[in-house]
């Protein structure tokens, strides 16, 4: 037990430093853990009295912390011998602090999402005005701020796709794929862009790579079939349609694709 008591003393001794670092929750958690150790142990009278004095001074430190008082305005009362009561108060305080941290995190997340949405809309407006370089500048700044957001890169690419700026869209999609090589939707999206650019051979490579990752997606086969339609590769178009229908026998558009391909094959 002496080892645990030493640990508890260290926890109490570190509370002041944690508060100075604006780490209120770890500070309160340290006091709570120390009280648990005290209640769990069989302390001699002198040890208990020493521990109670330490708790006295530590609770005083908690009550004197301005930032903690802002988050939890109630005074923490402690009477020797009522450590269980103190433990419940500390548990309630930890709950309050956790809720505040969660609320702050949600607020930050909402603000970040709003900034992202606003910047995407502003970039879209710049593209519509024909100011593509400025749109690139804004989007690239957004990517620097949200560097791990693959979806964001795809959303930016969509803005350029809608404007018929396929080369610009391809750049963002390839960047997104570099960050998430297993994102099938990116292979599909790149395939669509390359198809519109009439780079059929490269588009096929991306579709085939996507199908290596997931060969149970009827829409992936269907989009591959659309590539072969543009490329006028009727045999491959028919094969892609058959595979889409095999996965989903009720896929009406794939049925139409197969009939069209077979008609072309003769």
**Position 2 confidence tier, pLDDT thresholds 50, 70, 90:** low
For residue 43, pLDDT beyond 80:
no
Judged against a pLDDT cut of 90, whether residue 173 lies above it is answered with yes
DSSP 7-63: HHHHHHHTHHHHHHTT-HHHHHHHHHHHHHHHHHS---HHHHHHHHHHHHHHHHHHH
pLDDT in tens, 91-143: 999 998 888 888 887 888 888 899 999 999 999 999 999 999 999 999 999 99
CA 115 to each of CA 37, 124, 159, 195: distance values in angstroms, whole numbers, following the listed order:
46, 14, 17, 33
Output the CA torsion 120→125→127→128 (10° steps): 140
pLDDT over threshold 60, residue 164 = yes
Q: Is the pLDDT of residue 41 over 80?
A: no
Percentages of the chain per state (helix, strand, coil), in multiples of 5: 80, 0, 20
Residue 209 has pLDDT above 80, yes or no: yes
pTM more than 0.75: no
What one-character DSSP code corresponds to residue 77? Answer: P
**From 1.20.1250.20, 1.25.40.10, 3.20.20.140, 3.30.565.10, which CATH number describes the 132-265 domain?**
1.25.40.10
Q: Which of 65-74, 80-89, 160-169 has the lowest mean pLDDT?
A: 65-74
């Amino acid at each position: 037990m002496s080892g645990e008591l030493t640990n508890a003393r260290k926890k109490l001794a570190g509370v002041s430093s944690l508060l100075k670092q604006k780490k209120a929750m770890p500070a309160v958690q340290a006091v709570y853990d120390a009280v648990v150790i005290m209640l769990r142990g069989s302390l001699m009278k002198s040890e208990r009295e020493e521990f109670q004095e330490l708790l006295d001074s530590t609770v005083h430190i908690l009550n004197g912390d301005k930032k903690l008082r802002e988050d939890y305005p109630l005074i923490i009362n402690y009477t020797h011998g009522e450590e269980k009561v103190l433990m419940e108060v500390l548990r309630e305080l930890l709950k309050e602090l956790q809720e505040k941290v969660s609320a702050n995190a949600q607020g930050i997340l909402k603000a970040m999402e709003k900034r992202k949405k606003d910047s995407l809309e502003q970039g879209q407006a710049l593209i519509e005005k024909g100011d593509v370089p400025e749109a690139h500048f804004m989007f690239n700044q957004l990517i620097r701020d949200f560097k791990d957001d693959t979806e964001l890169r795809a959303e930016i690419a969509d803005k350029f796709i809608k404007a018929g700026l396929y080369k610009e869209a391809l750049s963002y999609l390839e960047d997104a794929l570099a960050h998430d090589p297993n994102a099938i939707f990116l292979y599909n999206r790149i395939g669509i862009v390359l198809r519109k650019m009439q780079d059929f051979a490269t588009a096929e490579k991306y579709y085939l790579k996507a199908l290596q990752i997931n060969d149970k997606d009827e829409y992936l086969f269907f989009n591959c079939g659309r590539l072969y339609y543009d490329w006028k590769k009727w045999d491959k178009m028919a094969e892609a349609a058959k595979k889409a229908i095999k996965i989903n026998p009720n896929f009406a558009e794939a049925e139409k694709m197969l009939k069209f391909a077979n008609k072309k094959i003769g």
